Amino acid sequence: MTRILATLSLLLLTAPALAYIGPGSGIGLLGSLWVWLVGIVVVLLTILAWPLRWMLRRMRASRQDTPASDD
């Protein structure tokens, strides 16, 4: 019981830490967030563009397979 009271009193009576966090950590956070967002957008665009590229390849292949009619 005394351990619980001692722990609670230490937790409740502590002063907040007044520490300065410089702008460098915020810039680093924004930089890493930017990289993640750009990576996700690139992945989504690649996934969405794949069917279009596939259709274009099939259309080009079918166009090359058909003989040209010369009248």
Tell me the domain boundaries of the chain: 28-63
pLDDT category, 70, cuts 50, 70, 90? low
**What is the structure's pLDDT at 68?**
61
Distance CA 10, CA 4 (A): 10
Distance CA 62, CA 8 (A): 77
Taking the alpha carbons of 30, 33, 39, 43 in that order, is the dihedral positive or negative?
A: negative
**What is the structure's pLDDT at 35?**
96
Tokens of 63: 């166009």
Q: Is the predicted pLDDT of residue 66 greater than 80, yes or no?
A: no
The separation between CA 39 and the C-alpha centre of its own chain, rounded to angstroms, equals 5
**What is the structure's pLDDT at 71?**
53
pLDDT digits (tens, 9 = 90+) for 5-45: 999 988 888 787 888 878 888 899 999 999 999 999 999 99
